[in-house]
Chains A and B, each alone.
Chain A
Amino acid sequence: MTAQVTIFAIVFAVAVIFFLWSCWQRFSLVALGLPDNRIDRIGLRIWNMLLYAFGQKRVVAGKYPFGWNHFVFFWCFLILLIANTEFLFHGLFPDIIALSKLPEGLYHALALIFDVVSLLALIAVIIAISRRLWFAPKYIEAKTVDAFVILGLVATLMIAFFSLHGSGIALGEEAAAAWMPISSFVATLFRDLPAVTLANVKLIFWWVHAFALLGFLCYLPYSKHMHILTSIPNCFFKSIDKVNTQTPEVFKKDNVYGAGRVDRMRWKDLFDSYSCTECGRCTDNCPAANTGKELNPRLVIHDIKINLLHNGKLIKQGKAPELSLIGGGKEGSIKEDAIWACTTCGACMEVCPVSIEHVPKLVYMRRDLVEMQAKFPDELLSLFENLENRSNPWGIIPAERSRWVAEVNAPSFEKDKTEYLFYTGCAGSLDTRNKRNTEAIARILNAAGVSWGTFGKDEKCCGDSARRLGNEYLFDRMARENIRMMQEAGVKKIIVECPHGYNTIKNDYKQFGADFEVIHHAELILQLIESGKLQLKNKADAGKIIFHDSCYLGRYNGIFDQPRKLIEKATGKAPMEMDRRRETSFCCGAGGGRMWMEETEGTRINIARVTEAMKSDPDTICVCCPYCVTMMEDGLTDIKASDKVKVIEISELVEKAIK
């Protein structure tokens, strides 16, 4: 064994032990989180991993062309993983392990691939550095030491690779020289050097390569580039059901509710924080962050990580955490205003390349504030009391719920006779403006001869706002009460007008044992038209229509095409589209219980959205959610455009076409 091998073996052992120890230090903290089953449906999980991690599906999606640079990086990295593994083991066992011992064809092919890929990686590094220096988007922290250390290490590694092989070729020691075009080019730079110097150059770059590689390994766990280790498993552990629902809680004595401490998050939430690369796309798509609110979803994830690293040791020892998770004021602690600013629209989760789940974390922190501390914005006190005592957000007398029934021929739901329960929701049955949609839907259902009925004044609030606002205790009671009532009435199929109710009854109630066939009116009306049950007598005229996606219908439940087709059927032409649409649509500002809260910070989300719509100069903004109706109309009034532009709920549009 030569001296070089011995020294390297020691360096290698120290680096690897340090790396493993660092990983243990960090990953063992993940086990502090609450249990969460993320290893069911393995086949689907492997597919997700292939698609999102290896396929980089979301990295390259949408308006992020720079994502392709990462794609190149990722694959270069994987390929060079083979080269670097060979490098390390060749360094340890130079006589046993060597690429050149492979069959000639394979050796030459690999030599070519490694050479070209190393150049690609170097180019990708240069692009990445240039972007950070000169073209940085505002949603990332561009000039961080962390980023430049890693990029520098990667660049060093590539330069060392070429210099090492270039000097080897110049010495005539590289058997696959003809297959290494870039290294061969580097060799021409070295050609005038004497053999002794060349040998020293080769030795120096071998060690530079070795140290860069092992340094990279040791640095990884301490950097945001830990995502290199975590993002692939994170895509495997990705939520399979859409992450629109939160985990229920068990209400019994001595239990603790919500995430007031970092170890009250689920283990996956902690793992998420390790997977974040701080790419900032969540923040770039967040309606709150885009309108000057305290919330920055990227920082929320970052703070959870910092909090875990800070408190992890103490918690492990059974001591109380030092750094509070909620409160703000320093890195690792999240401000209450940020927690309350979330509309739960899910845009952050939709764009996150590694499928981090931001919204549930914010809801779990809300739960701590509401359920453990009874601490929340003033407006929510009356909301919670109204939901609890009168099962609607406004505290209107429950008997008022059936008022709209007088306007149309609305039957009551009858057990074993009625096919569909029409669940109007609070806005649809109590809000003056939104009762118009409810009536339109009723008339459409009657025109199509659908067997339907309502619960009238006995209908209760679905509890969506309570759940998103972290009042799980209240939601739990409301959900159980509704399910019991629906099951006792013999309900099998439910038409829901409000996307929030639709999502809640369809997805959240499942956790409480419900199994209803839930359909949104936009879906049902389209089916009725396509099956010929609903005849459109003429074309509805609403001028130039632009369509606004509801988060809870679109992003949360994948209903994008149905309303668009419906508009086309009703008017004869496809609607105009917003810049931000479908999966990356921009919230109206009312979700997550924000409907019931004042919006005092920054600018208004609904104004941002109507302003975006106005760029297309529409006559009508078509929506399929009562919250969106209210928010869009208020927004138009605020920008003094309500004379020119009207807001129409999709049912009202269809109703025009059947008259």
Chain B
Amino acid sequence: MQIVTCIKQVPDTTQVKIDPVKGTLIREGVPSIINPFDAHALEESLRLKDKYGFKVTAISMGPPSAEVTLRNAIALGVDNVILLSDRVFGGADTLATSMVLATAIKKLNEEDEVVLVLCGKQTIDGDTAQVGPGIATRLKYQQLTSVDHIENVDLKNRTITVRCKFEGRYEILNSCFPAMIAVLREINRPRYPTVPMRLMSQDYKVTVWDNKVMQMNENEIGLKGSATAVRRIFSPDRAMGQILGGDDVQDPEEAARMLINKLISKNLISLQ
């Protein structure tokens, strides 16, 4: 029985700027990181491995440079990694992405039964939170989203119990295998790799599956397989922030007074 964890290499969006003319992201010089939500999904799958003895496979769709992210997953202790990389996969939206990931999971299922697919709730570059549910839909898996705690795994009855966190409520859900679980960042605290594992991961040969391996219809993948297209990316106009008083004002009451006066003068609040 294995768990497949889907991870994505993303640009560190806090350092990304938007090209105002072209309307695209300026990626030059911006470091790539593992999508922070996916780091938690990876950690949770490793905890399930530690506790129940699952085999863990991490998969990622992306350019060849995404190998680094998969190598880091190896350093953390996953058993197997697969990079889904082909030019024809490029330009995919969430639909086409989930098609590719679902196909890869199906292939993995042929080798060793996949019982759980773990994903981060969303990525920090796309922010759609659609790929996880998309995979579940394509594969007809149960889908458990916004999971902040895994309560129990019952291997005998092949079920999993999770806690989902929604606005103002928790839901405890019990589901049969196979299931897709999309996790929140609160679910755990990711581990840190040991040095021997890091060194081992540096020599690790990442398996790459291109479309020759995947054999997918080109109309289902990449730009062609995408149902949506990006028209324009732009930053909403935002006025420069101001610092009132700065370090010279030590007294919080004085600082609050300055702020209130400012807001009144701008007609943003009124004392009436």
Interface residues of A (CB under 8 A from B): 251-257, 370-374, 376, 378, 381, 384-385, 389, 397-399, 432-433, 473
Contact = CB atoms under 8 A, between A and B. Distances in A.
Given A389-B31, A397-B14, A253 B194 contact: no
A385 B78 CA distance: 20
B15 A371 contact: no
Given A389-B31, A473-B198, A384 B192 contact: yes
A473 B192 contact: no
Interface string B44-71: 0000000000000000000000000000
B12 interface: yes
Given A389-B33, A397-B14, A432-B247, A251 B199 contact: yes
A378 B190 CA distance: 10
14 contacts: A251-B195, A251-B199, A253-B196, A253-B199, A256-B196, A257-B196, A370-B192, A371-B195, A372-B196, A374-B193, A384-B192, A385-B192, A397-B15, A473-B195
Given A251-B199, A252-B199, A397-B15, A371 B189 contact: no
A389 B15 CA distance: 12
A254 B195 CA distance: 10
Contact of B189 (A253, A254, A378, A432): A378
Contact of A374 (B33, B191, B199): B191
A439 to B, nearest CB: 12
Q: Which 9 A-B pairs have the closest CB atoms?
A: A371-B195, A374-B192, A473-B195, A374-B194, A257-B195, A397-B15, A253-B199, A372-B194, A381-B192
Contacts of A381: 189-190, 192
A253 B31 contact: no
B203 interface: yes
B255 interface: no
A473 B194 CA distance: 10
Interface string B188-210: 01111111101110010000000
Interface of B: 12, 14-15, 31, 33, 189-196, 198-200, 203, 247
Contacts of B195: 251, 257, 371-372, 473
A374 B197 CA distance: 11
A256 B12 CA distance: 33
Contacts of A251: 195, 199
Nearest to A256: B196
Given A372-B194, A374-B193, A384-B192, A253 B15 contact: no
A433 B195 CA distance: 36
A433 B14 CA distance: 24
A425 to B, nearest CB: 20
B16 to A, nearest CB: 10
A593 B177 CA distance: 46
Contacts of A376: 192
B40 to A, nearest CB: 13
**Interface-central residue, B14, B192, B199, B203, by most chain A CB under 10 Å:** B192
B120 to A, nearest CB: 17
Contact of B200 (A253, A256, A257, A373): A253
Contacts of A256: 196
A374 B193 CA distance: 6
A191 to B, nearest CB: 77
A394 B236 CA distance: 28
A170 to B, nearest CB: 74
